[in-house]
Amino acid sequence: MKDDEVKTKVRPGGLRYESKSGGTDFPGPYGGTMSCFVCGRHVARSRLVAFRLATGLQYRCRDGC
């Protein structure tokens, strides 16, 4: 691995990131994905279905996990 490929370095003050790309790992407007309550995978909201659990709404994969 080359030295110019290293993006993080722990500084004496405890700060880790010297350079970090901004943004989110989840594409789409406002991060357009959610995690399935059952399997935990991040999928588009259109591929999830809501169900009630303890008086709240949770989301699971529409086509099964």
* Model confidence at 1: pLDDT above 60: no
Per domain, the residue ranges of the chain are 25-65
Tell me the pTM: 0.51
Beta strands in the chain (DSSP E): 33-35, 42-44, 48-53, 56-61
| N- to C-terminal Cα separation, the chain | 38
More confident position, 16 or 57:
57
Residue range 5-46, pLDDT digits in tens: 656 677 777 777 666 666 666 666 665 788 888 888 888 888
Residue with tokens 């010297």: 18
Residue 12 has a pLDDT of 78
pLDDT confidence of residue 54:
86
User: Pick from 24, 54, 55, 57: which is nearest to 42 by CA?
Assistant: 24
pLDDT of residue 31: 59
